[in-house]
Structure 1
Amino acid sequence: MHALQQLWAGRRDLVLIALVMGVLMLLFVPVPSPVLDFLLITNISMALLVLLVTFFIETPLKFSTFPTLLLLSTLFRLALNVSATRLILEGADAGRVIGAIGEFVVGGNYIVGVVVFLILVVVQYVVVTSGAQRVAEVAARFTLDSMPGKQMSIDADMNMGLIDEKEARSRRALVEREANFYGAMDGATKFVKGDAIAGIIIIGVNIVGGLAIGIAQMGLPWADAVQRFTLLTIGDGIVTQIPSLVIAVATGIIITRAAADAQLGTEIPRQMLANPRALLIVGVVLLVAMLLPGFPKLPVIAVLVVLCGLAFLSIRGAEQRGPATRSDAPETERTAGDELRQLLRIEPLELRYGSALAPMLAGPDSDFQDRIATLRKQVLVELGFVAPKLSLSLGADLKGTDYEVYVNGVRTGGGELMHDQVLAINPGGARQPLDGKPTKEPAYGLPAQWIERGMKVQARAAGYTLVEPDTVLVTHLTELLRRQAPELLTRNGVEQMIQRDRERLGPLADEIVPAVMTYSEIQKVLQLLLREQVSIRNLEAILEVLADAGRAIKAPEELAERVRERLGASICQGYRDGDGRLQVLTIAPELERTLLAATRSGDGRSAPFGEAAHFDAFMKNLTDHVEAMMGRSLVPVLLCPSPLRRTLRSVLHRSMPFVAVIGVNEVPADFAVHSFASVQVS
């Protein structure tokens, strides 16, 4: 048995192909009557199975193969008709099933058989099939028309953070499957309708052909030929028409199913018995009918007993649902509490936008979410930090073209986006003024203008750099993510990072937490690194340093300096010029000695430069050199003795956060270092 299951599991496609080819062969290859009996019984069984499956499924999409199955069953019935016709016309013998149906259903009377067959065809063609076809057409049209709205709703839920990207993809796939299913059902109902028409034509052809063979070739009298061939033909028609009617009913059931996630056998009794008054009214009508002269009383009494029993069950059910309904109040309170907690929740990273920006950021044709996904990957590669998901929300109090960025509920940036214009930035060489709205580029504060799209050629010719509004926003978000990375790195995030790399870290992860440091202490060290744009991607090297030094050193600042020395190569790598040299600003020796002395005496943090005039002179000289480096497209880097690094960084982080301060111990020995200029206090 197990071997058969394995064979079936690995050859399902081949078995299906073999079955389809077998059905096609029935159209051309004669089959003996015992085989035909087996196939006819199989046809009836399969039709009943399909009907029962439509009752037990919860939603139509649970039976998404139904349109294909409808086509195959129609082809199978037509092939059986052809095979039965061949046997009837060749030897007036179509097997025991058709003969039994002809004798049992129509009592051996072909006139009755014709009437019964025509009634079945009328029921199937006029009532069931036509109704199912119309419902399928309407369902397909409304499903296709509602697709854009459903997809916009999914995008809106994802933008607001109610669902994640995986859930959004799953819902989009479900919408697409639903549209494909109802579109296929619209066409599949044509098979059922055509099957009914083909049944009538086949019966007529069989009767005419049978009479011709019986009278002309077999020499039978007219009455005997009609009795023999018509009875077999009607039996064949009824045997194949009954499964066809069953399939038509199954088609009507599955196409008229509502979207409730419950079985049809559960939903119909629940809804029919929901109101006992309807049952009682029906009982009253039957009691009145009993008063009519000659009306049979025994069937009415039997139905009244059933109705009274159902009404009793309905009333009992309503009484049992009463406490349950009352008990739903706490559930409602819990739901309201969940909504309040959702309102009180602070998103780690949130973008609020004005109504005019909605199509660009959350519209059906917007690729903004894809660009945000790319941005998160970029930040992950650069800083080794998994940025939180960006939550989008419509700011009711914002101007239509404004946006604001919030980190942990605190506004950290914002600006204005003219969604129907482009931003023209003057890189420094453009002299011709443009007729636009003056503004500043939000990421770097560069002077810019919003201009009409028709002025793009003129602006490019004048030397301006043109940026699309969505690119402006993405660039701004990129810079904000880099600057706000320390605030976005949570304790849970640190734990997830370590757990995610636990297999690669091996014993190191178990060694450091909690024996040497806690997640909170590791978080503080990583935040200090991110504050200076140092990538924490090499988590293994960072944890090795913390494991070695964490027992003796507890100050996060000191530990961060030890980590920087370990990561010196990767830190300096990003500051090298096109020739591979590390261009740096150095500190004049006399100033360096003064600062070191102040640091060793404990005055390094409060007043490392002594007098305020010395600090002003230092900052002016440093500013001049930094501007010179940036003018040559070099990253401004200040190289200093390692004991001074933290002090100088604390001095510069507010006024010149873009200046990188590195210690001598961080520079690898094989790096080519070139002193661009020396900073001094004149």
Structure 2
Amino acid sequence: MKKQDLAVAAYLVAAFVMMIIPIPSWLLDILLACNIALGFTILFTAMFAKEVLDMSFFPTILLFTTIFRIALNISSTRLILTTGDPGEVVQTFGNYVGGGDLIVGAIVFLILIIVQFMIINKGSERVAEVTARFTLDAMPGKQMAIDADLNTGAINDAEAKRRRDKIQEEASFFGSMDGAVKYVKGDATAGLIITAVNIVGGIAMGVLRRGMDFNNALNTYTILTIGDGLVSQIPSLLISLSTGILVTKGSKDADFGAVLIRQVFGIPKALYIVGIIICTLGIVTPFPTLIFLTLGLVFIVCGRVIAGEIETARIENEVDEEEIAAEEIRQPENVNSLLQVDPIELEFGYGIIPLADVNQGGDLLDRVVMIRRQIALELGTVVPIIRLRDNIQLNPNQYIIKIKGIQVSEGEILFDHYMAMNPGYVEEEITGIPTFEPSFHLPAIWITEGQRERAESLGYTVVDPPSIIATHLTEIIRQHISELLTRQDVQNLVNNLKDTNPSLVEELTPKLLGLGEIQKVLQNLLKEGISIRDLLTIFETLADYAPSTRDTDILTEYVRQSLKRAISSKFFPANETTSVVTLDPKLEQEIMASVKQSENGAYLTLDPEKTKAIMKSVGDEIAKLENLGKNPIIVTSPIVRMYFKRLTEDYYRDLIVVSYNEIENNVELQSVGMVTA
């Protein structure tokens, strides 16, 4: 055990020992002195703590000190009743602090009890209760602010974790303080009761056991009991004051003393007025003239001194700012910061700023957080931090989306309007500003708030501007998620899987496949919208086939076949016949005959005219499916799938190409056409 642990354990054990075993008066004097010193230590530590969490164990400290103080009270009571000699500390408090007089000592003791119980304890209890309530109520807002800073890139993951932990610690601390204040309140009540019991018990012991007359017993034992009460209540008062200071600190990360002095005596004008008032009272009233005039002049002089310090500090700040600005001009430009490229950026004109400003009720930052979570659940990969920036060069209502610093899409919204889209079956038209939905380029109409209810009742799909931007951003991320997957992202995925399946990871990498090859397979899957959440199945398949081939395209096909259940559920709804287009067997043979192998992989050598004819046939068949309201899906043989997808991806980006081996046996298909050349 550590020495600190032994010290705390000894402190608690000593308290319980004192409750049971009588201790000599000289040892009680030492322990009472230590208890007073501990009270002062806690008081000044609470005053000068930079943050309340610097004393996060304060509720436990309250409990420990209360138990120890009660144990001391029991020991001193035992000595008073049995020997009449509780030690020099108790006698000094009774005779010196109480003035050696029964009435004076009783009044001083009662004043201490009233101050502690009615003022400090009651106020601390109320402040702790309110602070705990408001701290818990503020937690969701603080969490959202952290997520917003994380998404805008203002902080990193480590800083976000530190801030979240701090919020949790603050909530736990103030919640514990709300209950721990009851210890102090109960301690004050117990002290009052113990004192009353000691007085009655002392008089009884003096009269019945020691043969003292009533007045002598009353005077002797009451003074000792009051001394005992004072020596216990003063440390208790210090702890109560520490509690009040800790829960009423307005600034949680500032020097208590400096802030307090600056806030009380930091305005020269106030000191001048106070000085004039005090001097006037000394002149025109019977108050002691010398004292009031001297005090008033002190305030006026202090005000002048502070005014000079403020002026000097202002001039120094201006000089420092000028020097810093000049130094920055003289310094060579740090070009390293200019080389960094953000993976995803959303830039918008000043008219869209209210949507991203939390103080103006904007929730665009929250939607960005949801986008990252949605993509993670849907595709099994972590979306990089999305940087949000305002750009005065854009039109007020315009926004652009950049991937790796290059603009890939843009859109324009009307801030106070809603976008209404006809799903295809609404016949009645509504008036508005014609436009196109930016994500899928569908015709739409901008309508006002007053038209929204009517448009929804007619069957129009109505969305607000933040939803439009969020949907557009989501689609752009889906389209480019494969190129956003970096080697470091893959390494993080590998590390996560290694925690649960270390033997599989050790078998696969780096023995069979390198990190870059695994990245290429995962990118191939993401490029066609296949989730990589089932990383265990993906890695097991790669471990099975990597010994025979390291061609990432072929490995991707093997992985796709292992993920047939996920692919089937994504593209082929259950209990429903799906309309698809097949590939002419002769065309499949021609494609395979045109495949050439090279050091960098396989490629097609089809005649341009043949390619053009194939693309025309694909376009015709896709049109058939779209007229039926179906997704464009082409089913091919396994060996042809990846080559045909590569052939068509530049012409038809949304075309879904699957092989027969990637379809579950219970899926019902209906061929509505065939691609020929």
TM-score after normalising by structure 1: 0.65
Q: Kindly state the Cα deviation for residue 584 of structure 1 after the two structures are TM-superposed.
A: 1.7
Output the CA distance in 2 between the equivalents of 1:109 and 1:649. 95
Query: Runs of 5+ in structure 2 lacking a partner?
Result: 262-323
Tell me whether 1:159 sits opposite 2:147 in the alignment.
no
- Residue 231 of structure 1 aligns with an amino acid whose one-letter code is I
Q: Kindly state the Cα deviation for residue 528 of structure 1 after the two structures are TM-superposed.
A: 2.4
Equivalence map 1:603-682=2 (5 Å) = 604-605=604-605, 607-610=607-610, 614=613, 617-629=616-628, 631=629, 634-642=630-638, 644-664=640-660, 666-667=662-663, 672-680=668-676
Q: Kindly provide the CA deviation profile for residues 620-671 of structure 1, in whole angstroms up to 9, marking residues without a partner as x.
A: 5234223234x2xx32211235555445434432342111123455556775
> How has the CA–CA distance of structure 1 residues 240 and 46 changed in structure 2, closer, same or farther, with 3 Å as cutoff?
closer
- Checking the alignment, whether the CA contact within 8 Å between 1:67 and 1:188 is kept in structure 2 is no
> How has the CA–CA distance of structure 1 residues 615 and 37 changed in structure 2, closer, same or farther, with 3 Å as cutoff?
same
- Residue 173 of structure 1 aligns with an amino acid whose one-letter code is Q
User: Hey, what does 2:38 align to over in structure 1?
Assistant: 49
Within the candidate set 427, 444, 449, 2:445 is matched to 449
Equivalence map 1:107-122=2 (5 Å) = 111-113=99-101
- Residue 459 of structure 1 aligns with an amino acid whose one-letter code is A
- Checking the alignment, whether the CA contact within 8 Å between 1:203 and 1:234 is kept in structure 2 is yes
Output the CA distance in 1 between the equivalents of 2:97 and 2:166. 57
- Checking the alignment, whether the CA contact within 8 Å between 2:348 and 2:400 is kept in structure 1 is yes
Equivalence map 1:36-435=2 (5 Å) = 45-46=34-35, 48-53=37-42, 58=49, 59-64=51-56, 66=58, 93=81, 96=84, 98=86, 100-101=88-89, 103-105=91-93, 111-113=99-101, 154-161=146-153, 162-164=155-157, 166-177=161-172, 180=175, 191=185, 195=188, 224=216, 227-248=219-240, 250-251=242-243, 254=246, 259=252, 344-353=339-348, 361=356, 363=358, 375-395=371-391, 397-398=393-394, 401-416=397-412, 421-435=417-431
Q: Kindly provide the CA deviation profile for residues 297-334 of structure 1, in whole angstroms up to 9, marking residues without a partner as x.
A: xxxxxxxxxxxxxxxxxxxxxxxxxxxxxxxx9xx99x
User: Hey, what does 1:319 align to over in structure 2?
Assistant: none
> How has the CA–CA distance of structure 1 residues 611 and 545 changed in structure 2, closer, same or farther, with 3 Å as cutoff?
closer
> How has the CA–CA distance of structure 1 residues 368 and 493 changed in structure 2, closer, same or farther, with 3 Å as cutoff?
same
Output the CA distance in 2 between the equivalents of 1:171 and 1:647. 54
Paired residue secondary structure (1:438) = strand
Output the CA distance in 2 between the equivalents of 1:99 and 1:655. 99
Q: Kindly provide the CA deviation profile for residues 69-105 of structure 1, in whole angstroms up to 9, marking residues without a partner as x.
A: 65897799799989999x99xxx94754547456445
Paired residue secondary structure (2:445) = strand
Paired residue secondary structure (1:415) = strand
- Checking the alignment, whether the CA contact within 8 Å between 1:34 and 1:95 is kept in structure 2 is no
User: Hey, what does 1:288 align to over in structure 2?
Assistant: none
Tell me whether 1:460 sits opposite 2:459 in the alignment.
no
Q: Kindly provide the CA deviation profile for residues 383-407 of structure 1, in whole angstroms up to 9, marking residues without a partner as x.
A: 3333334344455555565444333
> How has the CA–CA distance of structure 1 residues 663 and 141 changed in structure 2, closer, same or farther, with 3 Å as cutoff?
closer
Q: Kindly state the Cα deviation for residue 458 of structure 1 after the two structures are TM-superposed.
A: 0.9
Output the CA distance in 2 between the equivalents of 1:543 and 1:657. 28
Equivalence map 1:463-502=2 (5 Å) = 463-502=459-498
Output the CA distance in 2 between the equivalents of 1:558 and 1:191. 75
Q: Kindly provide the CA deviation profile for residues 363-395 of structure 1, in whole angstroms up to 9, marking residues without a partner as x.
A: 278776666555445434443333334344455
Output the CA distance in 2 between the equivalents of 1:93 and 1:412. 89
> How has the CA–CA distance of structure 1 residues 234 and 411 changed in structure 2, closer, same or farther, with 3 Å as cutoff?
same
Q: Kindly provide the CA deviation profile for residues 397-420 of structure 1, in whole angstroms up to 9, marking residues without a partner as x.
A: 555654443332233334345565
Paired residue secondary structure (2:100) = helix
- Checking the alignment, whether the CA contact within 8 Å between 1:37 and 1:96 is kept in structure 2 is no
- Checking the alignment, whether the CA contact within 8 Å between 1:350 and 1:406 is kept in structure 2 is yes
Query: Runs of 5+ in structure 1 lacking a partner?
Result: 10-14, 269-328
> How has the CA–CA distance of structure 1 residues 78 and 556 changed in structure 2, closer, same or farther, with 3 Å as cutoff?
closer
> How has the CA–CA distance of structure 1 residues 97 and 407 changed in structure 2, closer, same or farther, with 3 Å as cutoff?
farther
Paired residue secondary structure (1:457) = helix
User: Hey, what does 1:318 align to over in structure 2?
Assistant: none
Paired residue secondary structure (2:447) = strand
TM-score after normalising by structure 2: 0.65
- Checking the alignment, whether the CA contact within 8 Å between 2:195 and 2:226 is kept in structure 1 is yes
- Residue 496 of structure 1 aligns with an amino acid whose one-letter code is N
> How has the CA–CA distance of structure 1 residues 263 and 574 changed in structure 2, closer, same or farther, with 3 Å as cutoff?
same
Q: Kindly provide the CA deviation profile for residues 413-437 of structure 1, in whole angstroms up to 9, marking residues without a partner as x.
A: 3434556554322111123233444
Output the CA distance in 2 between the equivalents of 1:503 and 1:64. 33
> How has the CA–CA distance of structure 1 residues 469 and 595 changed in structure 2, closer, same or farther, with 3 Å as cutoff?
same
- Residue 176 of structure 1 aligns with an amino acid whose one-letter code is A
Output the CA distance in 2 between the equivalents of 1:93 and 1:621. 108
> How has the CA–CA distance of structure 1 residues 178 and 83 changed in structure 2, closer, same or farther, with 3 Å as cutoff?
closer
Output the CA distance in 2 between the equivalents of 1:355 and 1:124. 62
- Checking the alignment, whether the CA contact within 8 Å between 1:154 and 1:171 is kept in structure 2 is no
Output the CA distance in 2 between the equivalents of 1:617 and 1:415. 31
Q: Kindly provide the CA deviation profile for residues 2-41 of structure 1, in whole angstroms up to 9, marking residues without a partner as x.
A: 9xx99x99xxxxx99xx99x99xx9xxxx99979999998
- Checking the alignment, whether the CA contact within 8 Å between 1:117 and 1:238 is kept in structure 2 is no
> How has the CA–CA distance of structure 1 residues 100 and 39 changed in structure 2, closer, same or farther, with 3 Å as cutoff?
closer
- Checking the alignment, whether the CA contact within 8 Å between 1:581 and 1:672 is kept in structure 2 is yes
User: Hey, what does 2:311 align to over in structure 1?
Assistant: none
> How has the CA–CA distance of structure 1 residues 512 and 207 changed in structure 2, closer, same or farther, with 3 Å as cutoff?
closer
- State the Cα RMSD in Å: 5.8
Paired residue secondary structure (1:622) = helix
- Residue 112 of structure 1 aligns with an amino acid whose one-letter code is G
- Residue 585 of structure 1 aligns with an amino acid whose one-letter code is V
Equivalence map 1:483-632=2 (5 Å) = 483-502=479-498, 507-543=503-539, 546=542, 550=546, 555-568=551-564, 570-588=566-584, 604-605=604-605, 607-610=607-610, 614=613, 617-629=616-628, 631=629
